[in-house]
């Protein structure tokens, strides 16, 4: 053969991969339709196949073009990569690598770099070249100049396979986009879309890190969904899972007969709880693989943020392990130093390469510096899920109102550490599965009190410092736990209670986006001041939010079943305060107790505040007041019917 049998791939192309510095390894390994020059026949088009299997003694390609009989690959000198060029083979080709491992056993494996894969239970890799033309230039240009820590971020968390069961990427690009836009969320966050054969894993057990799941369509159809969301003004966050991978014998595990991507020692290389392998973060090729995967989703799919799953499991060598089941680091401690270095590397690299990206940690411990820059010794994430706030809040909500006074501090404690990290307040899928009950069913007493409490809580959440995330179905009070096998119970969203809750979320999002006081200074103590954090006897909380221009909002939330008439609060300014949210409004299926659109504060000191006012606080309800001074009152609905119409 007079042309290059490796399809143009040379040893020097792989140096970065082997030293841990190749951040675009998907351009070199895997299957690529290429054109090579043959001295006798001129230009030849076909597919180059390349795979890393350093300990293999033979590698073959089993494919539909050779009736799955196996054509040989040859090792590129000086590397652990095997490659071949097959003329006349192009997009749509089904293939797998057959690897004779160091253990003397043939292992048929899918391509770790495949861009597309067969739908489970089949699993062949598919040669795929994107032909998508992006139409989101305006979004990408605006995103590049934004720092989401000082922007509004209201996230709708979605499991694409069951939001409306059976819908494709193309159908979701119409229906999901229309719904999210109507509800007013700024972002969606997708549970992992990387190919995963086991649906009940929800995508958290990934077998193809570079392939969007084929159950819902082709990769370019997923690109279309992202593009449509961007054109509608909605950002896209993707769950990313570098913490572990499943043991399916045809996937990454023991790839060339040895522990290639994972540690060989089960004390380092296996998660007993999940039955999965742990990546070897200290291996250069694994670092190249994972950092490339993060950059791949950000650049090839225009993803606006990656939420890194199970960060705590990566940080601690003794995560969910008993004494003797883990190996200390070189200093005798329990921190996984290689994983920490890897996370810093990924975060630093993506923030440098992708303008406007947001890296988010799901980290359930008090590990220091998760959102501190790497040059200051932090992990370099932009934001962190506030799991402490979530646990405290849900524990409080589950109490009968009469007992809440003894747990009052659980709703205020988050302010003790609010400025230690950049937080997102998450009510995620994890809180509505496995017997935990849906949000509405966590709350005691009858349906009226359940819906009223949940409305008050969502107002508390939207008005509290930190961005917010809500899992699909919880915006209309679905009573069933999340079940990936069926659609959300959309039919209930037209019923009493459910529809009112859904309307409140829409209005909360509108008020939130319109008022920088609710998001601009989330990470700055100047943006928050307690009015009264200690009124346990009334189960009531009150605070002020401010923006950089000194616009003020006052928030009063009552988690008691009793209304508080003429409830006195301090305020930072005398004058008219317009009621822009009342969760007890009849529009939201409440009882209509409120302030008839406004409250007047008089210049009489109250505590540390120069003014005071009397507020009608509904039972299990919240009101949000905006300072409007002596300006003419804006057109608005009455307090008994809903949020201000011009918010």
The pLDDT tens digits of the residues spanning 286-309 come to 999 999 999 999 999 999 999 999
Identify the band that residue 638 occupies on the pLDDT scale cut at 50, 70 and 90: very low
Active-site residue (options: 362, 392, 421, 431): 362
Task: Please tell me the predicted confidence (pLDDT) of residue 4.
Answer: 66
- pLDDT tens figures, 232-246: 999 999 999 999 999
The whole-number average pLDDT for the span 413-437 is 95
For residue 219, give both structure tokens: 């990769």
Task: Please tell me the predicted confidence (pLDDT) of residue 272.
Answer: 86
Asked if residue 640 has pLDDT above 50, the reply is: no
Distance CA 558, CA 24 (A): 52
Spatial contact of 474 and 523, defined as CB atoms under 8 Å apart: no
Task: Please tell me the predicted confidence (pLDDT) of residue 642.
Answer: 59
- pLDDT tens figures, 74-106: 999 999 999 999 999 999 999 999 999 988 999
Active-site residue (options: 13, 262, 309, 421): 309
Task: Please tell me the predicted confidence (pLDDT) of residue 3.
Answer: 52
- pLDDT tens figures, 105-129: 999 999 999 999 999 999 999 999 9
User: Which among 206, 257, 245 is positioned nearest to 53, based on CA atoms?
Assistant: 257
Distance CA 377, CA 538 (A): 44
Q: CA separation (Å) from 178 to 163, 233, 472?
A: 13, 11, 15
Q: Are strands 235-240 and 575-582 parallel, antiparallel or unpaired?
A: unpaired
Residues in Cβ contact with 123 at an 8 Å cutoff, skipping those fewer than 6 apart: 110, 117, 197, 207, 250
Q: Which residues, in sequence order, are bridge partners of residue 199?
A: none
Distance CA 230, CA 212 (A): 18
The whole-number average pLDDT for the span 217-223 is 98
Q: Which residues, in sequence order, are bridge partners of residue 452?
A: none
Distance CA 83, CA 29 (A): 9
Domain 11-126 superfamily per CATH: Immunoglobulins (2.60.40.10)
The whole-number average pLDDT for the span 369-394 is 96
Token look-up 């009531």 returns: 540
Domain 152-242+306-348+358-517 superfamily per CATH: Glycosidases (3.20.20.80)
The whole-number average pLDDT for the span 304-323 is 94
User: Which among 91, 294, 275 is positioned nearest to 209, based on CA atoms?
Assistant: 294
**Residue range(s) in the chain whose domain bears CATH number 2.60.40.1180:** 524-629
Please, what is the average pLDDT of the chain? 94
Torsion from C-alpha of 141, 143, 144, 146, nearest 10 degrees? 140
Task: Please tell me the predicted confidence (pLDDT) of residue 639.
Answer: 42
Asked if residue 370 has pLDDT above 60, the reply is: yes
Collapsed DSSP state (helix, strand, coil) of residue 340: helix
Task: Please tell me the predicted confidence (pLDDT) of residue 644.
Answer: 52
The whole-number average pLDDT for the span 603-617 is 97
The whole-number average pLDDT for the span 505-528 is 97
Distance CA 208, CA 205 (A): 9
The whole-number average pLDDT for the span 279-285 is 96
Torsion from C-alpha of 605, 609, 612, 617, nearest 10 degrees? -150
Task: Please tell me the predicted confidence (pLDDT) of residue 384.
Answer: 97
Distance CA 421, CA 96 (A): 45
**Residue range(s) in the chain whose domain bears CATH number 3.20.20.80:** 152-242+306-348+358-517
More confident residue, 259 or 630: 259
The whole-number average pLDDT for the span 462-484 is 96
The whole-number average pLDDT for the span 367-381 is 95
Task: Please tell me the predicted confidence (pLDDT) of residue 630.
Answer: 66
Annotation marks residue 15 as catalytic: no
% the chain with pLDDT above 90: 89
Does the model's pTM come out above 0.85?
yes
Collapsed DSSP state (helix, strand, coil) of residue 607: coil
**Residue range(s) in the chain whose domain bears CATH number 2.60.40.10:** 11-126
Task: Please tell me the predicted confidence (pLDDT) of residue 568.
Answer: 98
For residue 200, give both structure tokens: 């009940």
Distance CA 203, CA 46 (A): 33
Collapsed DSSP state (helix, strand, coil) of residue 66: helix
CATH number among 1.10.760.10, 2.60.40.1180, 3.40.190.10, 2.40.160.20, domain 524-629: 2.60.40.1180
The whole-number average pLDDT for the span 48-53 is 98
% the chain with pLDDT above 70: 97
Greatest alpha-carbon pair distance for the chain in Å reads 95
Annotation marks residue 309 as catalytic: yes
């Amino acid at each position: 053969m007079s042309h290059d049998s490796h399809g143009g791939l040379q040893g020097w192309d792989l140096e970065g991969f082997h030293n841990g510095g190749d951040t675009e390894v998907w351009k070199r390994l895997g299957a690529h339709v290429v054109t090579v020059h043959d001295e006798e026949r001129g230009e030849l088009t076909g597919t180059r196949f390349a795979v890393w299997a350093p300990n293999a003694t033979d590698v073959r390609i089993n494919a539909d073009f050779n009736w799955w009989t196996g054509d040989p690959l040859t090792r590129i000198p000086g590397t652990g990569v095997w490659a071949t060029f097959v003329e006349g083979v192009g997009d749509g080709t089904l293939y797998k690598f057959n690897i004779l491992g160091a253990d003397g056993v043939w292992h048929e494996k899918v391509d770790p770099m495949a861009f597309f894969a067969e739908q489970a239970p089949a699993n062949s890799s598919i040669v795929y070249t994107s032909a998508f033309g992006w139409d989101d230039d305006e979004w990408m240009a605006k995103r590049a100049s934004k720092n989401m820590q000082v922007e509004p971020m209201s996230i709708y968390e979605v499991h694409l396979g069951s939001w409306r069961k059976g819908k494709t990427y193309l159908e979701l690009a119409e229906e999901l986009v229309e719904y999210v836009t109507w509800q007013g969320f700024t972002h969606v966050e997708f549970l992992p879309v990387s190919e995963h054969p086991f649906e009940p894993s929800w995508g958290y057990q990934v077998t193809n890190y570079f392939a969007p799941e084929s159950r819902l369509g082709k990769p370019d159809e997923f690109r279309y969904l992202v593009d449509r969301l961007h054109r509608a003004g909605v950002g896209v966050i993707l769950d990313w899972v570098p913490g572990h991978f499943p043991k399916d014998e045809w996937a990454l595990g023991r790839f060339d007969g040895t522990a290639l991507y994972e540690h060989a020692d089960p004390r380092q290389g296996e998660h007993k709880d999940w039955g999965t392998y742990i990546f070897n973060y200290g291996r250069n090729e694994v670092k190249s693989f994972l950092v490339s995967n993060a950059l791949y989703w950000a650049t090839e799919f225009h993803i606006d943020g990656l939420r890194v799953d199970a960060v705590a499991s990566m940080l601690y060598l003794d995560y969910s392990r008993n004494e003797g089941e883990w190996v200390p680091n070189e200093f005798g401690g329990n921190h996984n130093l290689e994983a920490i270095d890897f996370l810093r590397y990924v975060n630093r690299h993506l923030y440098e390469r992708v303008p406007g990206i947001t890296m988010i940690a799901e980290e359930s411990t008090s590990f220091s510096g998760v959102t501190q820059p790497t040059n200051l010794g932090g992990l370099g994430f932009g934001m962190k899920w506030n799991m402490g706030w979530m646990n405290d809040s849900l524990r409080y909500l589950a109490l009968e109102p009469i007992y809440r006074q003894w747990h009052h501090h659980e709703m205020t404690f988050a302010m003790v550490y609010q400025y230690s990290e950049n937080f997102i307040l998450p009510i995620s899928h994890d809180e509505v599965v496995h017997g935990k009950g849906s949000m509405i069913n966590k709350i005691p007493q009858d349906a009226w009190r359940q819906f009223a409490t949940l409305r008050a809580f969502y107002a508390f959440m939207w008005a509290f410092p930190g961005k917010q995330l809500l899992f699909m179905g919880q915006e209309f009070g679905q009573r069933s736990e999340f079940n990936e096998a069926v659609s959300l119970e959309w039919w209930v969203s037209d019923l009493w209670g459910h529809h009112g809750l859904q309307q409140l979320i829409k209005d909360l999002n509108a008020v939130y986006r319109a008022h920088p006081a609710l998001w601009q200074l989330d990470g700055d103590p100047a943006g928050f001041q307690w009015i009264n954090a200690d009124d346990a006897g009334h189960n009531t909380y009150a605070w002020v939010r401010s923006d950089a221009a000194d616009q003020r909002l006052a928030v009063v939330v009552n988690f008691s079943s009793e209304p508080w008439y003429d409830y006195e609060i301090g305020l930072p300014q005398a004058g008219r305060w317009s009621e822009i949210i009342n969760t007890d409004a009849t529009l939201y299926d409440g009882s209509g107790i409120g302030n008839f659109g406004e409250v007047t504060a008089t210049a009489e000191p109250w505590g540390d505040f120069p003014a005071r006012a009397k507020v009608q606080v509904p039972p299990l309800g919240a009101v949000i007041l905006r300072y409007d001074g002596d300006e003419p009152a804006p057109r608005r609905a009455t307090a008994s019917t809903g949020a201000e119409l011009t918010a």
